[in-house]
Amino acid sequence: MNVYVLSIDALGIGATKDYRNYDETNRDANTLERISASYPDGKINHIRNLVNKGRNNERINYYNGKKYISGYLELGYLGADSYIGHQAMMGRVIKEPIRVFLEDICDNLIRLIKEEYPSYEIRYENGLLFVSDKFILGNNAESDLGLNLNLLALKKEIDFDELKKFAGLIRENSDFERIICMYNNDIDLSLLYKCINTEEVNGRVITRFRVAPLNLYNENYKVYHWCKQTDNTLVKLLKKNVEVNLVGKTADMFDNEKFKKHWFSSIDETFNFISNSIKQQDDSKDRLFFINLQEIDLCGHAKDLNGGVEALVKINDNINNIISEINEDECLIITADHGNDPLITPNHTRENVPYLLFGKDSVLSKSAYPNGGFELSYISEIIMKVLS
């Protein structure tokens, strides 16, 4: 059996009941409705209708003749973070993450960098660490405070292997959950003043680095997520001889030499891969495909509502085709990791996320009706039940 878990990054469907503990501005957040309402002629109705049917208190629904369960999941972790959200989907729930700030480790990093790269000029200025004319390090501003560190390559010509080696040095000598390595653009340093904001944390001032004002999210944009690696559902599936395929950002978030990894440059290319995988189903083995589509999230960070509409239209049309193509002996789960309402804030919004499960009766019978009280980690439970 093939199991497809499609995570539409940041496709939240309304504020969580505890949003006040995160950010009062999240009260009216609803990423899906916000984007859909900006395109009223019905071209986003497929995914919108799929989600909204989960609110009619019917466990089983039908879409183009296919049975499915529609509900919603609470996040089940503090804040609203992509890495922690995807970890939760695969059974690793980080309730109380370690929070680290560049200010805490800056002196140690400077020492380590000088030892490893003696020719590099290093300076710490306005809360950012400048490494020659190659890199900038700063506390990530788009996700939860203290979880992620931005590592920005300043020139398009900087080699990825050089970037990865440098990121590895930071990864091995810090407790950040994730190092977000952005590259393949020439950076206009005159825009840096737009990227810096400060926040008081436990009586001290912390500088945060928001990269959207640098206009990075273009056709050249590339990103690599250097993450902590731990035991999770994916590793358990390997032990059961399940083939694990990671597509998009999930290929950076989880690492094992036995995982098969795939990256694509567009929404259409990703869905073409899914479609071809459906057509090439091998009944002799079980396969999991864990897929991330990041375009909605990128548009949210840039507060680009029009870009969000364009991305959601493409996702909407492709999902309709995939649902039509899915075979009787395959399972499709559609969900998200958090919200990113483009009209609320350039940061993630704390929202519930969709739970759409397509499959035959024996698959649907394994699932509860998640209409309150279920968290993102429920995805891992369903995967293990279906592939048991």
Per-residue pLDDT of 100-149, as tens digits, reads 999 999 999 999 999 999 999 999 999 999 999 999 999 998 888 888 99
Of 248, 247, 195, 245, nearest in space to 223 by CA: 248
Q: Determine the pLDDT at residue 41.
A: 67
Mean pLDDT of 73-85: 91
Print the domain residue range for 183: 102-225
Per-residue pLDDT of 269-290, as tens digits, reads 999 999 999 988 777 889 999 9
pTM of the model: 0.87
Taking CA atoms, 34 is separated from 63, 231, 346, in Å, by 23, 36, 14
Same domain, 18 and 76: yes
Same domain, 236 and 357: yes
CA atoms within 13 A on the CB side of 83: 25
Q: 204 in a domain, yes or no? A: yes
Per-residue pLDDT of 199-213, as tens digits, reads 888 888 999 999 989
Question: Rounded to an integer, what distance in angstroms lies between the CA atom of residue 379 and that of residue 374?
Answer: 10
Q: 12 in a domain, yes or no? A: yes
Same domain, 367 and 239: yes
Same domain, 260 and 358: yes
Residue 58 tokens, joined = 């019917």
Amino acid at 103: E
Q: Determine the pLDDT at residue 193.
A: 87
Q: 353 in a domain, yes or no? A: yes
Same domain, 235 and 221: no
Per-residue pLDDT of 212-255, as tens digits, reads 899 888 889 988 888 877 789 999 999 999 999 999 999 989 98
Residue 191 tokens, joined = 């825009």
Same domain, 34 and 88: yes
Domain total in the chain: 2
Per-residue pLDDT of 157-168, as tens digits, reads 998 999 999 999
Residue with tokens 């006040």: 20
Same domain, 164 and 22: no
Of 297, 347, 300, nearest in space to 24 by CA: 347
Taking CA atoms, 162 is separated from 159, 225, 240, 262, in Å, by 5, 15, 36, 21
Q: Determine the pLDDT at residue 97.
A: 80
Same domain, 264 and 166: no
Q: 97 in a domain, yes or no? A: no
Helix runs in 117-158, H state only: none
Per-residue pLDDT of 312-325, as tens digits, reads 999 999 999 999 99
What SS3 state is found at 71? strand
Q: At what angle do helices 305-325 and 45-52 cross, to 10 degrees?
A: 70
The yes-or-no verdict on residue 82 having pLDDT over 80 is yes
Which of 53-57, 64-68, 271-275 comes out lowest in average pLDDT?
A: 53-57
| CATH number (domain holding residue 88) | 3.40.720.10
Per-residue pLDDT of 331-354, as tens digits, reads 999 999 999 999 998 889 999 999
Same domain, 278 and 356: yes
8 A C-beta contact, residue 228 and residue 254: no
Amino acid at 243: E
Domain-ending residue, one of 225, 240, 274: 225
pLDDT-based confidence at residue 57 (cuts at 50, 70, 90): low
Question: Rounded to an integer, what distance in angstroms lies between the CA atom of residue 185 and that of residue 107?
Answer: 28
Q: Is 320 left (phi over 0), alpha (psi -120 to 50) or beta?
A: alpha
Instruction: Share the mean pLDDT of the chain.
Output: 91
Q: What pairing do the DSSP bridges indicate for beta strands 148-153 and 135-139?
A: antiparallel
User: What is the percent of the chain with per-residue pLDDT over 90, rounded to a whole number?
Assistant: 69
Q: Determine the pLDDT at residue 78.
A: 84
pLDDT-based confidence at residue 42 (cuts at 50, 70, 90): low
Mean pLDDT of 60-66: 86
